[in-house]
Each structure stands twice: as C-alpha cells, then as structure tokens.
Amino acid sequence: MTTQKTFTKEQFKDFSTSAFQMLKAGEIMTFSLSAENTLFTRLSKAKIRQSSYVDQGSVAMNFIADGKTINMSFNYTQDLNVDLLTFKSYLDKARNYLPGLSTDPYQVVPTNNGESVLETLHGELPSDEEIIALALDHVGDNDLAGVLTKGDMIRANANSLGQFHWFKTRSFYVDYSFYNEKQKAVKGLYAGSVWNQQDYTRELKDSIEKLNLMSKESVEVARGDYRVYLAPSAVNEILGILSWGGVSAGAHKRGEGSLAQLMKGEKKLSPKFTLEEDFNLGLTPRFNDLGEVSPLSLTLVKNGEYQEFLTSTRTAKEFNLTSNFASEYEGLRSPKIHGGELKRDDILKKLNRGLYISDLHYLNWSDRETARITGMTRYACFWVENGEIVAPIKDLRFDESIYKIFGSGLVEFTEATSIVPATGSYGGRDIGGASVPGALIEGFTFTL
C-alpha cells in the first residue's frame, strides 16, 4: 500500500507566492496549512475491519484590510491551478464581505517572522503491512478493538509579507481497548515515532493482566477522601482542563480564569510541581496560526509558584501585556509536567491502601473560582490493599481542587514520564500531545 500524494513545502511555497500576487495594495494575507498522509486502520475482535488512507489538506486564510479581519478555509489539493482558482473565489468573497464589517480595535497585524523548517521524521517506521501485523502480534485470543494510525502530519504558515514556516512529523499510535466476557474494558495506548516491539508487547501484557483482574466482582467504594495513584493518562486528562481558561492570561484578565489565586501569589502548588510548554518534545510546531514563533521552552509554574501564563499577541494588545506568542485560544500546545522520584515498581507499595486510577473522563470545572474540577473514573480502576490490587471498582465521580491535586495532596510524581499523544480524529488527525508522569495523591475526594 502506498499513499496517493505527499505534501511538500516546495508546492505550498509556490502556491502561497502565486496567491499573494493577487492581493491589492493595503491587503495582507496569512495562510495556515493543516495536512496529513495517514494510514487509518480500525480493529475489532483483534481483526482488521477497515484499512484506508487519509490524504487531505486544508488552508485557513486570514485576510486583513482596512482594520478588519476575515477568516475562511478551503481544501488544498496541491494542484496549483485548482488551488489558485479556489483561492481567487474566496478572495473575491472576502472583499465583498469586508465593507459590512466593523473595524477590530485589537486586530493583530501580521509581520514577517522569517522562515523555519523542522521535519522530525526519526527514520522509517515499519511498512503498512508490517505495522498492522505487529500491532496484532501477542494479542492472542483476547478481544481487542481500536485504531491504528501511522503517517505524516504537516503544519505550515505563510504570509504575504514574506514569512514561511514548515513543520512535518511522522508518528504512529495504537489506541486500543481489551474487552472481557462481561464487556468490561481496559484501555491502552502505544505511540511514538520509533516502533519498538518489545515495548509494545510489554504494554499489551500489562493491559491483559489488568483485563484478567477486571473479571473479578467489582467492589463499591463509599464516597470520601482516598489515597490514589493517577496513571499518566489520568494526569493528562487533568492537565488538559487547564487549557479551558486555567493558564490563559486573557481569561484571567476577563475574570474567567480558574487559577487567579495562584497568579496573585495567594496560593501555591506543591514544590514538586513544575509545568512548562516544551517544544523540544517535537510533537507540534512552535509557530502559531499567525506564524509567530513561541519560545522553545516556557515555564508556567516552577516548583509550585506562578511564573507566567499563556499570552497571545491579541491579549497583549488588549490588556497592555507582553506576548509570549501563545495561540489565540491560549491553551497548552506542548505541555510537560516534570517527573519526580516514585519508581514504577514501587507504585502499589507506596499507594498501600487506596485507589489505582488508570483513566478519567467527563472532566469539567465545578467551581472556577476555587479551581475545582469534577469527572468520572474510567476503564481499569482498582481497589488496593497492602500494596496489592484486590478488585476493580464501580465507577466513581470525583470533585477536587487543582490546589489539592497538584498542591497540598501531591505526595510524589513518578520518575518516568510518558508521552501521551493527541488522538482526536474529528475532521482530521490531531497534532500534539503532552509529557506527563503518574501521580500519587493523598486525600483525593470522591463524591458519589
């Protein structure tokens, strides 16, 4: 199997250069390209149910003139004539819409931020046939369902002032679940840019062991405060909610932020908690949709103390701040929580008595002012006694503050950290991910 086309920086640069020549004096245009060449394979009952390619590209155009901004998007085919005709039709529409718009007082006018090219390909992955076979190896008679993806993801940005950025990464993930005869599930995720069959087999073995434990009768845990271990997947879910106004400078300036007490110095998190945006991970480009290039590393919280939050140029202009070139959304793009000293083999022993939480879902803020979040346990979660797993638990809802989870209740992070990639595929394969450890926490509150 071979992909039908490969997106190249040369073709995108040729298209951008030709398109920008259609602009009139006083008009500025920015293009943001999102493209992929992806093998997409659905698995069910450890068999291939669908295997196909997704070869697609989309260009978001940002048209600026007369103090006004119009955003549109169109499919990008790499056929220069077709793409230029499509662009011309959208440019005409934008010009027609422009007179009816109001001027934007906080408009960010693009600048030329130079050129950059980064391709993190890390050599060749197994062929399509090989990687599918490897993904199903050692599954045995177990009921595995999920998705295998492999391929290249591209992000690029160009503007009519001469700016050009190109980012391309090659990766894979196997996002799977095992089911037992009671239809209870254990979720697993193996991902990266280099396939290691030994590591993947270890992940499968760990999931199958948990699946066998799920065959035991589930115990009902009463609401209350418990010592818990949050696996990296669960920590990543909590980290993700911080992008909903938690680390946004604009949200805090508008009174909608959830970590205002941390920002004001009224509260601190644990000295063991350090959070940063780290583009060294190579999961996503440093440039945002405007083509502004973020710092390679940006510390948001250091040893529990506030350093700075994500600030877009628009927010900086509105509130007279200094931009650190965050996305307009001001959400985390390449977050990293530093690891601690808890060794993997000591997790259950250090937990001793409490709950082993593999995953969480349905998270939301329950009280923004106090940074409280709520959510549910998911998949393989267990009751632990004397450092040994006793039985799976029935689903629980938690309601707890970030100041407890990453603050006063934090006992330790694991020494090892895991890369948890973005696995969304609604309309296209998501890019990015996070580097997170597991976390041992005391006094984690479950409400029902």
- Region of residue 247 (left: phi > 0; alpha: psi -120 to 50; beta: else): alpha
What is the widest separation between alpha-carbon atoms in the chain? 74
Where among 174, 194, 214 does a domain terminate?
194
* Residue 209: inside a domain: no
- Do 190 and 300 reside in the same domain of the chain? no
Helix extents (H) in 271-334 = 313-319
| 207-261 residue pLDDT tens | 999 999 998 999 999 999 999 999 999 999 999 999 999 999 999 999 999 999 9
- Do 243 and 172 reside in the same domain of the chain? no
Question: How would residue 3 be classed by pLDDT, with cut points 50, 70 and 90?
Answer: very low
CATH classification of the domain holding 91 = 3.30.2290.10
The residue among 437, 350, 439 whose CA lies nearest residue 400 is 439
Residue 4 has pLDDT above 70, yes or no: no
Residue 369 has pLDDT above 70, yes or no: yes
Question: Which two tokens mark 93?
Answer: 């529409």
Task: List, in order, residues 6 or more apart from 79 with CB less than 8 Å away.
Answer: none
Residue 194 near residue 320 (C-beta atoms within 8 A)? no
Tell me the average pLDDT across 187-194. Answer: 92
Looking at residue 205, what DSSP letter applies?
H
- Do 172 and 238 reside in the same domain of the chain? no
* Residue 430: inside a domain: yes
Neighbours of 254 (CB within 10 A): 13
Residue 29 has pLDDT above 60, yes or no: yes
Residue 1 has pLDDT above 80, yes or no: no
CA dihedral 287, 291, 293, 299 (to 10 degrees): -60
d(CA 188, CA 145): 10
* Residue 201: inside a domain: no
Question: Which two tokens mark 219?
Answer: 């115990």
Where among 149, 173, 194 does a domain terminate?
194
Q: For the chain, what percent of residues have pLDDT higher than 90?
A: 91
From residue 158, give the alpha-carbon distance in Å to each of 33, 63, 98, 169, 261.
Answer: 9, 12, 22, 18, 39
Domain that holds residue 405: 224-446
Tell me the average pLDDT across 352-380. Answer: 95
How does the average pLDDT of the chain come out, rounded? 94
The pTM is what? 0.92
Please tell me whether residue 251 adopts helix, strand or coil conformation.
helix
| 393-444 residue pLDDT tens | 999 999 999 999 999 999 999 999 999 999 888 888 999 999 999 999 999 9
Tell me the average pLDDT across 260-281. Answer: 96
* Residue 218: inside a domain: no
Radius of gyration of the chain from its Cα atoms, rounded to whole angstroms = 24
Residue 288 has pLDDT above 80, yes or no: yes
Provide the CA 335 distance to its chain's centre, in angstroms.
Answer: 8
* Residue 203: inside a domain: no
Residue 448 has pLDDT above 70, yes or no: yes
> What pLDDT score does 434 carry?
96
d(CA 184, CA 393): 11
- Do 182 and 248 reside in the same domain of the chain? no
| 261-270 residue pLDDT tens | 999 999 999 9
Residue 6 has pLDDT above 90, yes or no: no
Angle between helices 197-214 and 128-136 (to 10 degrees): 30
Question: How would residue 97 be classed by pLDDT, with cut points 50, 70 and 90?
Answer: very high
Total tally of structural domains belonging to the chain: 2
- Do 286 and 393 reside in the same domain of the chain? yes
d(CA 192, CA 421): 8
- Do 164 and 239 reside in the same domain of the chain? no
